[in-house]
Amino acid sequence: MRLVPPRRPILLALAGLIASCSAREPEPIALNEDQCGLCRMTISDARFGGEAVLPTGRVKKFDSVECLLGWVRATRVDQRGAIYVIDLQHPGKFVAVDKAGFIKDGLIQGPMGGSLLGFESLAKAEEQRAVLGGRVLSWAQVLADSAAGMGH
Amino acid sequence: MLRSAVLRFAVLMSVAAPARAADLVVGTGGQFATIASALAAAKPGDRVIVRAGTYREAMLVIRTPGLTVEGQGWPTLDGQGAHEVLVIAADDVTVRGLVATNTGVSNLEDRAGIRARDVRRCVIEGNRVLDNLWGIYLQRSADCIVRDNEVEAHGLRQTESGNGIHLWYSPGARVERNRVRGQRDGIYFEFSPHGVTRDNVSERSQRYGLHFMFSDSCRYEHNTFRDNNSGVAVMYSRGVVISDNRFEHSWGSAAYGLLLKDIMGGEIANNTFDRNSTGLFVEGSSRLLVRGNVFTQNGWAAKVMADADENTFTANRFSGNAFDVTTNSRSANSTFDGNWWDEYHGYDLNRDGVGDTPFHPVRLFAFVVEQHPAALLLLRAPLVAILDAAERVLPVLTPEALVDRRPLMRPPQ
């Protein structure tokens, strides 16, 4: 019976391979396990971050909107795939960036020390601005803003 | 003459000071029933003595400069799951001997057991900071001392834990002899340069035992980081000195004894990396001197990515690691010179203590695994051993620059 155990990791690895090949939806972030695809920090706060589902089916996870943005800016448009951001009000929930709203320089700091926060929609971001302050931006504006400022 | 005059002055001052400053006693047999009332009555330089007991008060804020708040018999300050416990909001305040507990959790507030906010020269020493969202939090507070505290959180869910000792825009701090357990990051420096972190034990963190970002010119010495979920991460800083620490037992796919990311200039000396998945991981970092460290029983002793350059490894000791060194590109160019490798089987004909043939620490197989992690399944396959041996004789795939031309015959002392 002692001979059986080695098989399990192989099965798991195969299952993982198959799963990752067919992934089109963003994959949930495993807190304190998954690493940020840009800064390599272990992701530990479900309120922040994002994910890219690459054209190859692989996913890249990020601990903050800043890191997601940094990766997007360094990656060719046709290789970015589908990009999602976490909704601050629903930790762990992904929203396609084009539908999302953002708050920059609000009261809450993300894992990279700055404040760039994701919300379900522009309307929700606008609503939260009353509490958190800062500026409301769309994804297009976030991109334009980072291109102009070169910062985070 | 001068010395005795100084001494006399010092004695005079120490005798004179308590005469002017008053002791305000809270609790059994004291003048005050609540800490808040004593804090409100205190004058600069006074001492508030808190006797044993449990105090369930609203958030306590110290606004009197030079005040000392001292617990006798471990009084418990209870945040009742609803708010921060104690906030230091004046310069030169000392807080000692208190138990600060039970801030409760919040998604929108970073509640701390003890917080220093916009102050200078605070001293937080010998406290027990237990089961809070965040432990001790220095916020825009310069030249503070945090020492001999016990900071521990358990029972919090992963998503609901903050850091044990957290510094944010707080330069010149000294963090010494604390014991931190079970928080998200045990000790975290963010935008806090010129700090010294010494003789702490940080263990069982949900993420990092020590984490620092954007904190230049800091020293980290004689600490023990043990059983932390992801080890220790040091990022985006210049001129750091990390010496005589122990990095122990960080296991997991994203766990590193010490992760260095974008560190420019500094020294990693005389540390022990023991039983980690990866002992030392170096990425995007340059001009580091890595010397006198001991790497034992790690999966990978050192992973040095190709974008790390001008780093020097010397007088280190590598033993019992599955892989000694690996990298992700043939163009990797860090320098290895005069290290001791237990895998080295060379000879020393002229008896100068240095092996006569070079040592290639990057096994072909380690290099393959770096590109194709699934290949790790073949670790013990005989073919792999043959390939490794062939590669050692005639390196064609592994990075040429990663070679130790002066491997030591004996471990350095």
Residue B139: what pLDDT? 97
Residue B157: per-residue pLDDT: 61
Q: What are the sequence ranges of the domains in chain B?
A: 21-229, 232-413
Could you say which DSSP state residue A43 is in? Answer: P
pLDDT (average), residues A68-76: 95
| Residue B388 phi, psi dihedral angles, 5° rounding | -60, -45
**For residues A45-51, average pLDDT:** 93
Instruction: Write down the pLDDT at residue B15.
Output: 46
Contacts of B108 in chain A (CB under 8 A): 108, 131
For an interface test with B, give the residue of A11, A31, A33, A41 to mutate (most B CBs within 10 A): A41
3-state secondary structure labels for all residues of B303-319: EECCCCECCEEECCEEE
Interface-testing mutation among B107, B192, B215, with chain A (most A C-beta atoms within 10 A): B107
The CATH topology of domain B21-229 is Pectate Lyase C-like (2.160.20)
Distance, in angstroms, between B359 CA and closest chain A CA? 30
Between residues 312 and 341 of chain B, which touch chain A (CB distance below 8 Å)? Answer: none
* Cβ–Cβ below 8 Å for B159 and A46: yes
Nearest CB partner across the interface for B233, out of A32, A41, A47: A41
Contact A44 B283 (CB under 8 A): no
pLDDT per residue as tens, chain B (413 positions): 455 555 555 444 444 444 478 999 999 999 999 999 999 999 999 999 999 999 999 999 999 999 999 999 999 999 999 999 999 999 999 999 999 999 998 877 889 999 999 999 999 999 999 999 999 999 999 999 999 999 999 765 656 789 999 999 999 999 999 999 999 999 999 999 999 999 999 999 999 999 999 999 999 999 999 999 999 999 999 999 999 999 999 988 789 999 999 999 999 999 999 999 999 999 999 999 999 999 999 999 999 998 888 999 999 999 999 999 998 887 778 899 999 999 998 999 999 999 999 998 888 888 778 777 777 777 777 877 887 777 777 777 777 778 999 999 999 87
Which pLDDT value is given to residue A13? 52
Contacting residues of B for A29, CB less than 8 Å apart: none
- Per the document, the length of chain B is 413
Question: Are the beta carbons of A40 and B283 separated by less than 8 Å?
Answer: yes
Complete DSSP assignment for B222-287: S-EEES-SSEEEEEEEEEEEEES-EEE---STT-EEEEEEEEEEEEEES-EEES-SEEEEEES-EE
Q: Does B108 touch chain A (CB under 8 A)?
A: yes
Judging contacts by C-beta atoms under 8 Å, the chain A residues touching residue B230 are: 32, 42
Q: Is the ipTM of this complex over 0.90?
A: no
Counts of helices then strands in chain B (DSSP H, E): 4, 37
State residue A123's pLDDT score. Answer: 96
Mean of the pLDDT values across residues A54-77? 94
